[in-house]
A and B are shown apart, each in its own frame.
Chain A
Amino acid sequence: MPTRPARTTSRPKQRPPEQHRSEDDPRIMLDRAVSADLYEPIPPYPTRTEREAEFYTIGDGEMFLNLGPQHPATHGVLRLVLKLSGEQIVDVDPVLGYLHRGVEKICENSDYYHVIDQVDPLEYASALFQEWAAVLAFEKLMDVEVPPRAEYIRVLSAELLRISSHTLFMGFLALDMGGLTPILYSFIERDEIVEMLAALTGARMLFNYFRIGGVNGDLNHEFMSRLGDWMSRAAKQTEANTGLLNENEIFVRRARGVGVMDREMALRFGVTGGNLRASGVPFDVRRAHPYSVYPQLDFNVPTRLEGDSLARYLIRMDEVRESIKIIDQCLNNMPDGPVMAKLPRLLRPHPGRAWGAVEGPRGMLGVYAISDGTDQPFRFRIHDPSFMNLEVVPHLLPGNLLADTMAIVSSLDPIMGGIDK
């Protein structure tokens, strides 16, 4: 406290008693460290593993940089502790768990219908896929026959959401490289799709639309008119939006050859989705382990060999084109009929286990469910692609520059809700 001259004219103020400041007070520790020039961000506990001890030992000319959990460019609450030498990244320690809510345990304590509601916020940018994985596993568990119209509606709405997710990815990738404009163009597309799905499902982001044995409601007039409106120019608009970045020399130079993930590495870490296909492995759950009506639809699995950030971006843009193709076919082949199977009010599947996996925008979204014969799943395991994709980050970053952190992490397209579960 700075001393003030004593007041003579007025009564001195009553101060609260001086608070006891112990030696462990972080403010005192920080002040001391600053004045003694000893300030180092060591973990606030004794190191637990050899790897941690090695990472938090600082070399000559190196420094730590906490990137996140509050940082304008990390997606959600990802925290990366970077060990920097100048601008070059020497080592990375990703810190996860800021969004952990124990969703798996919540699901194990909900009955089968409520699980769909619980898993929605995991992949918050594309919630339908997470619902789909859970529903798929439960349908296998209970041997439910889904009406074909419901399957087509599922494919239709999910592919719309895939386009929305990929378009957002494009915008955020550009934003992380300093381009201000593409994100606004992405949000226009995304908003139209989201409003369309809101007309169908009643919600903009957390839809709670898929049901065990079908979907919650049939297609309605507003959805169809919005969809027709949007489809009339979707392909053209996609080309225009991607042209913003594809033909931009600065963007291409920053993304090409950065964060190269080769085929072996991608397979070793269990990377799936566009990130894996950008490394030259044509693995797509829709083709490799077909589900729903995908076997009857005609679409390609775009693959690239480079494995860098640019390839990951281009793959996703190709997937948008394929998704538009799929939506077209869905609209042409949509059968009539019910959208829900007949099911009892209370579901008690026989004891058993089932694995349901769908191809989400970020990769294979899987759910492993075990039933013990009650109305709640005994075990509900969620396989999240973002988590697998993020595992390669500590291996891609070292050797690159600080600015490439964004180009690499953003091109892997993580969603923290699914990673922290």
Chain B
Amino acid sequence: MRALPATFREQARAVRAYAVESRAFALESWAGASPIDRLALVLVPLALFLFVGAVVSAVVMLGPTLDFLGANQPLVRFVVVVLGILLLTVPTAFLLIYMELKVIARMNLRVGPNRVGPWGAAMSVVHGLKVLAKEDFAPTGVDVPVFTLAPVVTFLASVMTLLVIPFAPGIFGQDFNIGLLFFFAMGGLSVLGLLMGGWASFNKYSLLGGLRSAAQIVSYEIPLTISVVGVILLAGTMSLNHIAQAQSGSALDWFVFKQPLAVLIFFIAATAEANRTPFDLTEADSEIVAGFSTEYSGMRFGFFYFAEYVNVFIISALITTLFFGGWTAPFNWPWPYNLNWLDASGIGAAWIVIVGFALLVAADVLGLAIWLFRGRQWSAPSAFGLGFVIAGAGVTILIILACIIALDWVQGIFWFMVKTYIFVFVFVWMRGTLPRVRVDQLMGFAWKWLLPASLLNLFVTAAAVIILNLPSAR
């Protein structure tokens, strides 16, 4: 019999030490269990229960649920679209923020974030948590309702523009026949949020930032919109889906080759519209501290921050859709093999073979190889673990490749994202390279160069459509 120590903490430590010495005791008594044992005792039964429950309810409920969903397709579509778009914004913003941190760091000969997660990839998640944890502060003199609403307006305006963007054939929020008009209307609303934030903050830097954003966006909306009219004339529609379809074929069918001037104008004006360097006058940190968001903190600031990066993604997506073929592949896709057995509608042996059997076999083979030829640092479990990870990654890539080949919507999303992120990279690149222009240079450039150029582009395109008697003129 041991003498029990005096304090409670020491008692607990002694009990735990005894539990470790005799493993059998650890599972006989809750008090003697180590934290990991306790966690396992809670989680394992819970997981078993949930799994069995899920299987049973799937068996029982699957048929009626499918019937119900089939009967209410518009409702289902609405809910899915809303959830999908709202859920899309957060990882997009996280990815863009991380990309900007890392890419600009490389351009600055720095390392960039490398502490949180692999290669610092969780940095923007930590940023998000930090912003959530901060105090939501409204200084003296602030017009509280307007001050509170401003980030919401900005964020919602950005999110709503996502509604009309076609990610792939069949993957879009809503196919308006005035899709482009809707896009510009909603995009123009975001300036309202900036103006509200600037005005309500009771701070002169904020006020200057808000007014700058209003002036800037009003000026750049005009060349932005007019430069797009050429595309509308060529495609004969304002629906973004149809514009993307009109460019299908190969890369030579993209509108960038028919509207080179419009691409240039649109890109410059869109940079100003998204408040990105070199047109980031609204938040010029060396002049007006942080512009409209000077007085914001916590999640209110977070909404502005998110909206900015979502805007970059949206603008890149729109450039891709209008001028670079949207979700269409840059070349014709001659695939000679029949991959119908991989089709998601015929879930069958092929999937089970790939996911289950092949994965296990590959993991074992790789693990064995690593274990046999291991260096000193690999024990048997970690060798097999590594083999499993490599095999899993390989199988995942194989599945994605198979999906790209077999399913046109996966293919569409793949090409769309590749093109969009190329433009996102260009925006980040510009931020690392260029200084900021001055207000008068900004305005002068919009009215003296961009507007005449976009009008010229519109005139030439319209004349060509009539003279060449293109299909959209008929």
Contact = CB atoms under 8 A, between A and B. Distances in A.
Are both chains from one complex? yes
Contacts of A175: 286
Nearest to A34: B141
Interface string B199-215: 00010110010001000
B343 interface: no
Contacts of B434: 178-179, 248, 250
A180 B284 contact: no
Contacts of B440: 401
A63 B211 CA distance: 14
Contact of B289 (A31, A71, A253): A71
B169 interface: no
B136 interface: no
Nearest to A27: B140
A248 B204 CA distance: 31
A213 B285 CA distance: 47
Given A178-B435, A401-B438, A65 B204 contact: yes
Interface string A20-60: 00000001001100100001000000000000000000000
Given A30-B140, A63-B204, A403 B435 contact: no
B437 A181 contact: no
B77 interface: no
B361 interface: no
B280 interface: yes
B285 to A, nearest CB: 5
A393 interface: no
A405 interface: yes
B382 interface: no
Given A180-B432, A250-B278, A254-B441, A403 B284 contact: yes
A180 B108 contact: yes
A153 interface: no
Contacts of B437: 250, 253-254
B433 A181 contact: yes
B435 A250 contact: yes
A188 B208 CA distance: 35
Among B277, B286, B434, B437, residue most surrounded by chain A Cβ atoms (within 10 Å)? B286
Contacts of B374: none
Contacts of A402: 208, 287-288
Contacts of A27: 140
A184 B436 contact: no
A63 B284 CA distance: 19
B109 A403 contact: no
B108 A404 contact: no
A411 to B, nearest CB: 13
B258 interface: no
A404 B437 CA distance: 10
A73 interface: yes
B106 to A, nearest CB: 11
Contacts of B104: 180-181
A214 to B, nearest CB: 38
A30 B202 CA distance: 12
Contacts of A206: none
Nearest to B433: A181
B107 interface: yes
Contacts of A174: 435
B178 interface: no
B116 interface: no
Interface string A383-421: 000000000000000000111111000000000000000
Contacts of B109: 184-185, 188
B85 to A, nearest CB: 32
B287 A73 contact: yes
A253 B441 contact: yes
A178 B141 contact: no
Contact of B435 (A30, A64, A179, A184): A179
A251 interface: yes
Nearest to B441: A253
A179 B434 CA distance: 6
Contact of A404 (B277, B289, B438): B438
Interface residues of A, number: 34
A72 interface: yes
A178 B208 contact: no
Interface in B419-474: 431-441
B9 interface: no
Interface residues of B, number: 33
B110 interface: yes
Interface in B62-119: 104, 107-110
B222 to A, nearest CB: 21
Given A63-B204, A65-B204, A185-B109, A254 B287 contact: no
Interface string A170-191: 0000111111110011001000
Contacts of B280: 178
Nearest to B215: A87
A94 to B, nearest CB: 17
A251 B287 contact: no
A190 B437 CA distance: 27
B276 to A, nearest CB: 11
A177 B431 contact: no
B461 to A, nearest CB: 29
A64 to B, nearest CB: 8
A250 to B, nearest CB: 5
Nearest to A254: B438
A39 B140 CA distance: 12
Nearest to B204: A65
A406 B281 CA distance: 14
A31 B140 contact: yes
Contacts of B438: 254, 401, 403-404
Contacts of B286: 72-73, 175-178, 406
Contacts of B212: 87
A198 B404 CA distance: 59
A30 B140 CA distance: 9
A208 B108 CA distance: 33
Interface in A61-115: 63-65, 71-73, 87
A204 to B, nearest CB: 20
Nearest to B140: A30
Nearest to B105: A184
A346 B190 CA distance: 72
A33 to B, nearest CB: 9
A71 B289 CA distance: 7
A174 B435 CA distance: 7
A248 B435 contact: yes
B206 to A, nearest CB: 12
A34 B288 CA distance: 22
A405 B289 CA distance: 13
Contacts of B431: 180
Interface string B221-245: 0000000000000000000000000
A176 B441 CA distance: 17
A297 B289 CA distance: 46
Contacts of A72: 285-286, 289
A170 B436 CA distance: 16
Contacts of B202: 34
Nearest to A172: B286
A63 B278 CA distance: 27
Given A73-B287, A177-B286, A87 B439 contact: yes
B285 A184 contact: no
Among A184, A403, A405, residue most surrounded by chain B Cβ atoms (within 10 Å)? A403
Contact of A177 (B141, B432, B436): B436
B155 to A, nearest CB: 25
5 contacts: A72-B289, A87-B208, A181-B432, A254-B435, A403-B436
* In the complex, the 7 A-B pairs of residues with the closest C-beta atoms, listed nearest first: A178-B436, A73-B286, A179-B435, A184-B108, A177-B435, A178-B435, A34-B141
Given A174-B435, A177-B286, A178-B435, 19 more contacts: A27-B140, A34-B202, A64-B204, A73-B286, A87-B208, A178-B277, A178-B284, A178-B285, A178-B286, A180-B431, A181-B104, A185-B108, A250-B434, A250-B436, A254-B441, A403-B287, A403-B438, A403-B439, A405-B287
